[in-house]
Amino acid sequence: MKKTDVLIIGGGPCGLAAAVGASKAGAKTTIVERDERLGGILMQCIHNGFGLHLFNEELTGPEYAERWKELVSASKNIGIITNAFCFNLEKLSTAHSTMHGISSKKSGNLGIMQENFDTMQGVNSGGYLVSASSVEGIIEIEAKAVVMALGCREKPAGAILLGGTRPAGIFSAGCAQKLINVEGKKVGKRVVILGSGDIGLIMARRLVCEGAEVVGIYEIMAQSGGLARNITQCVQDFNIPLHLSTTVTRVVGEKRVEGVFVAPVNEKLQPIKELEKFVPCDTLLLSVGLIPEIEIAGELGLEFNPVTNSYTVDEYFQTSSTGFFCAGNVLHVNDLVDNVSFEGGRAGECAALFSKSGLDMSNKLEITYDDHIKYTVPKYIYNNKKGEVKISFRVNKNYKRTIIRAMSGGVEISKRPAPAVTAGEMQSLTLDKSKIVNDLHLEIEVME
């Protein structure tokens, strides 16, 4: 049995940042990664566009991962176990769920209590036992706190209403990306892409660069789910046709894809049969959404958010089970890796503080918001007047011009004009907690 203060499951950008955060906060930290190397999905993203916010540079995915691997190597007390798949997680029985009379240090803006120990939770609160399958057999690790940083997996064909046959030539976009970028293989010559999220857009450009013809990208929604910069740089600059409000209805082909039928959709997103037409192609790429890899925590009975398909967290990135943290793409699908690193770093730091001195969980407050907003991360904050809190959220559709406001006690405590707010791009507001009274409500005023 191995023992650690903070166990991080997943060694992608979230897990790496979590390890650095936990180590800086003085915790003995262990990363467990199922792959043979660290870096997560970044290792197959050879295009640039990573790290613009954090490093002020346009790095490729592997370059961005390398920066974090160097930071991990330079940090103290981080153990790394690769080729190990975590398959089970249990909460250990609670020794003392509330800490009394142990002094703690104040750290940054984390809202660590110095005097009121009755609300400090952590230290002796049981911990977790994680089992991983590795080349050396089953490893068991006991941790005082866990950060879940497992990322997402792609939705397969079976998860959408796609009729017709299932011949060779149907790939998820991420799988095609790995085959081309990591294994140097060709996936097809004439390609149709279903879905216009960022992975689909990036793969459209990649396939053209590899000599394939991308016949078209078909998107069922009236707008693309991808970043504006990816629509310009990956689609428009390469003259790839993007068909909005249109979907692929069925696949044709026995051994290999011979083509697909496509049709525009009505306002209920149902295909208009009379307008269906055949598009010859030998490959269909699916970029139809990502599913957070949350299953490992299934037995903990955590509070769930059906909008993100993941768990809810508080401002420490802690789920409804104390000492169990969740960040990065497994928490909500992020468009920018910089945000993933921010979340991971904070989750790791908070997990370390939980394990060492406890976290202030007094005066828990649920963030509310108007109909323009789909969800917020975090869902809960602690109304202790200390430091700042960053709130990330997504809107339900595209708006040309808006004002984003945070209200508390009926008073505006923060506002920011936001032009071109799109459903695909994460928005955020950083708030001074000393201005929060007894509620926190986010509003979007639509100007255009």
Ligand X SMILES: Cc1cc2nc3c(=O)[nH]c(=O)nc-3n(C[C@H](O)[C@H](O)[C@H](O)COP(=O)(O)OP(=O)(O)OC[C@H]3O[C@@H](n4cnc5c(N)ncnc54)[C@H](O)[C@@H]3O)c2cc1C
Q: Report the nearest approach of ligand X to the CB of residue 64 (Å).
A: 8
Q: 290 or 436, CB closer to ligand X?
A: 290
SS3 content of the chain, % helix, strand, coil (to 5): 25, 35, 40
**Nearest-5° angle of CA 404, CA 229, CA 235?**
135
Specify the residue for token string 């699908």: 333
Specify the residue for token string 């249109």: 246
Q: Which of 6, 12, 248, 402 binds ligand X (CB under 6 A)?
A: 12
Query: What's the one-letter identity of residue 381?
Result: I
**Residue 179 in 3-state DSSP?**
helix
Of the ranges 11-19, 123-131, 387-395, 435-443, which one interacts with ligand X (CB under 6 A)? 11-19
Phi (first) and psi of residue 22, to 5 degrees: -70, -40
State the Cα–Cα distance between residues 357 and 304, nearest whole angstrom. Answer: 27
Q: Report the nearest approach of ligand X to the CB of residue 136 (Å).
A: 15
Q: Is 14 one of the binding residues for ligand X (CB under 6 A)?
A: yes
Q: 207 or 265, CB closer to ligand X?
A: 207
Q: 11 or 378, CB closer to ligand X?
A: 11
The DSSP code sequence of 323-341 is TEEE-GGGTS--S-HHHHH
Q: Which residues 64-123 are close enough to bind ligand X by CB under 6 A?
A: 85-86
Q: Report the nearest approach of ligand X to the CB of residue 235 (Å).
A: 14
Torsion sign, CA atoms 382, 384, 385, 386: negative
**Mode of pairing for the β-strands spanning 2-9 and 29-32:** parallel
State the Cα–Cα distance between residues 277 and 263, nearest whole angstrom. Answer: 6
Q: Is 13 one of the binding residues for ligand X (CB under 6 A)?
A: yes
Q: Report the nearest approach of ligand X to the CB of residue 60 (Å).
A: 9
Q: 264 or 289, CB closer to ligand X?
A: 289
Q: Report the nearest approach of ligand X to the CB of residue 141 (Å).
A: 12
Torsional class of 9: left (φ above 0), alpha (ψ -120 to 50), beta (otherwise)? beta
Phi (first) and psi of residue 75, to 5 degrees: -90, 155
Q: Is 34 one of the binding residues for ligand X (CB under 6 A)?
A: yes
Binding mask 175-194 for ligand X (x = CB under 6 A): --x-----------------
Q: Which residues 365-424 are close enough to bind ligand X by CB under 6 A?
A: none
Binding mask 126-165 for ligand X (x = CB under 6 A): -----------------------xxx--------------
State the Cα–Cα distance between residues 12 and 106, nearest whole angstrom. Answer: 29
**Mode of pairing for the β-strands spanning 137-148 and 324-326:** parallel
Q: 16 or 120, CB closer to ligand X?
A: 16
Q: Report the nearest approach of ligand X to the CB of residue 123 (Å).
A: 26
Q: Which residues bind ligand X (CB under 6 A)?
A: 9-15, 32-35, 40-42, 45, 49-50, 85-86, 149-151, 174, 177, 198-199, 202, 293, 296, 328-330, 334, 336-338, 340
